[in-house]
Amino acid sequence: MAVYKNDTLIEQSIYGSSRLGLMTASSKPGYRTLGGKKYELSNHLGNVLAVVTDNIHLDQDSTWGSVVNMTDYYPFGLAMDGRSVQDSSYRYGFNGKEGDSNGEWGVQSHYDYGARIYSPQVGRWLSVDPLASEFPAWSAYTFVFNNPLRFVDPTGMAPDDIIIEHTLTKTLTRVKTDDPTDTWVRDGVTTETGLSKAQTEGRVGMMTYGGSEWKSNEVNILYGQGADKSKVSNYTVSVLTNAMNESGNSSIQVNSTLRTPEDQARIMSDLVNANGMAHTKKLYGSHGDMVLDKYPDKPAMVNQINTIGPSKVSIHLGDPSKINVVDVSPWRGNITNPRNFANKIGIFKGVKVLSPWNSNDRAINVEIPQLQK
Amino acid sequence: MILFTSILVSATWCSTKSKIDKGHLIGDWAPSPEENVDFTISKDNIKYFEDDYLYTYKIKQNTFSLIDSGHLIANYEIILLTKDSLVWKTEEENVFRLIKRE
């Protein structure tokens, strides 16, 4: 985050949601020194394509900044001769990683990814993958499945798909529901929603790209009585569809979805009305009991749930903009290979799966963190 | 020789006989005193927490089979069952300890 030399701050990173650039100028009270802040302009892979400074030139009818670094990269990260202007003081480059052009690896830049050092000259890691056993089909030195336009490796441990993590198949999938409309998921990403059945008929079976590389199919996602489809995001539909394609299941039934604190207060009140307070308290843990203490005041129960932390009251509670939780039935909805489905959806990044085969859960309980913009 | 054979037969019979007292299973089971119960087992059914639906179950020797509308969902191997605690193993070899809520 910062570099000091002899107790003097000489460099500090500028951060937003990720690194935006570096600040190298020393400040003096009452003055602003221009040119000391350098900002990165990066692409979807994190490659630093240009660096501009805050030294803005103003004229009567124009404004321009100073570009101190410009780099075009070959796919595997080597800077192109003649298409690069390097300011040696800016050391971040390919994938946004720190380059080392004067160290033990020689004059050509190598990049430090944390777990390993990468050489763009040969397009290989210089040491074996610490997670090599998880990728038995690949050499332990291979960089991002030899596909650096689509995959990145943020830590040097394992590749991440920049489109959707761990998507393996290329598919165009029509997601059928009991709605009057359909959704299309192309290559793991929801692309079109709200299309009429008539609009989507006839598109199943067509090849859209590269002939043999693509396949198209259709899947059914059914919703049981306890499920609220409005709490299932397009991203979650994409993840479910991917797992269905990967596991050979063309149909599933979602039995329940995430609850709001208001839903939870209503359910707890219904339980008290049906079974009495003593029995209901017996079934809940200490956090649930604190909510029940506010019964029958539902707004107070909701406040208590939010104060305690919704997920501590019930595993079915949460903020649908941050996480989706769906219970997939292990046999309803014509699912043909539920165990394979549970295994496949569990490899998506961040997804947690409980099932009757690995826990005390009655269904395939899937927690899917939502992509944050 | 006859005595030895009798002991052997008795030992074999004991090891294959179900050790499960179904009466001990009946009750509300939770992972800890602080947490919500996972499920409630009655004489013929198992009801999961905050779920209105009733599942059924079967017990054969040490195996507890969870059943939904005649479909086998999963088997659990009961390792220990007393009047107030249950330890069982899932098909993926995860072991869970549950305490009966009094």
One-letter amino acid for residue A56 of the chain: I
Q: What CATH code is carried by the domain that includes residue B82?
A: 2.40.128.280
| pLDDT of A71 | 92
Name every residue in A having a CB less than 8 A away from some CB of B.
226, 256, 267, 271, 282-288, 314, 316, 330-332, 355-360, 362
Query: pLDDT by residue (tens digit) across A277-299?
Result: 999 999 999 999 999 999 999 99
Residues in chain A with CB shorter than 8 Å from the CB of B49 are 283
- Rounded-to-integer distance, Cα A34 and Cα A58, Å: 13
- Rounded-to-integer distance, Cα A74 and Cα A76, Å: 6
The residues with which A110 forms a beta bridge, in sequence order, are A100
Distance from CA of B97 to the nearest CA of A (A): 10
Joined tokens for residue A109: 């830049």
Q: Is B22 helix (H, G, I), strand (E, B) or coil?
A: helix
User: Is residue B57 domain-resident?
Assistant: yes
pTM: 0.59
pLDDT at B65 over 50: yes
Note whether A98 and A90 are within 8 A (CB). Answer: no
Lowest pLDDT segment from A188-192, A300-304, A326-330: A188-192
- Rounded-to-integer distance, Cα A356 and Cα B91, Å: 8
User: Is residue B29 domain-resident?
Assistant: yes
| pLDDT of A74 | 94
Closest residue of B to A281, CA-based? B36
Record: contact A316-B50, CB cut-off 8 A: yes
- Rounded-to-integer distance, Cα A21 and Cα A69, Å: 12
pLDDT: is A121 or B19 the higher one? A121
Query: pLDDT by residue (tens digit) across A296-318?
Result: 999 999 999 999 988 889 888 88
Residues in chain B: 102
Joined tokens for residue A114: 């944390």
| pLDDT of B12 | 45
User: Is residue B11 domain-resident?
Assistant: no
Closest residue of B to A330, CA-based? B73
| pLDDT of A190 | 62
User: Is residue B13 domain-resident?
Assistant: no
Of the candidates B36, B74, B98, the beta carbon closest to that of A357 is on B74
Closest C-alpha among A367, A262, A365, A260 to residue A324: A367
Residue spans per domain, chain A: 2-96, 171-258+320-369, 261-313
Residues in chain B with CB shorter than 8 Å from the CB of A271 are 50
Closest C-alpha among A219, A317, A321, A231 to residue A267: A317
Number of H helices, E strands in chain A: 8, 23
Joined tokens for residue A363: 């269904």
Output the CA–CA distances (angstroms, integers) from residue B87 to A254, B77, B81, B97, in the order listed: 30, 9, 6, 4
Number of domains in chain B: 1
Residues in chain A with CB shorter than 8 Å from the CB of B96 are 359-360
User: Is residue B48 domain-resident?
Assistant: yes
Task: Give the pLDDT mean for A244-264.
Answer: 90
Record: contact A286-B37, CB cut-off 8 A: no
pLDDT: is A17 or A187 the higher one? A17
ipTM above 0.90, yes or no: no
pLDDT: is A233 or B67 the higher one? B67
User: Is residue B14 domain-resident?
Assistant: no
With both helix axes pointing from N to C terminus, report the angle between A261-275 and A298-308 in degrees, rounded to the nearest 10.
120
Terminal Cα distance for chain A, rounded: 23
Q: Which residues contact B19 (CB under 8 A, 6 or more apart)?
A: B62, B81
User: Is residue B3 domain-resident?
Assistant: no
User: Is residue B72 domain-resident?
Assistant: yes
One-letter amino acid for residue B47 of the chain: K
Of the candidates B28, B34, B96, the beta carbon closest to that of A283 is on B28
* Domain residue limits at B40: 21-101
Query: pLDDT by residue (tens digit) across A91-142?
Result: 899 999 998 876 665 556 789 999 999 999 899 999 999 888 877 878 999 9
- Rounded-to-integer distance, Cα B56 and Cα B43, Å: 10
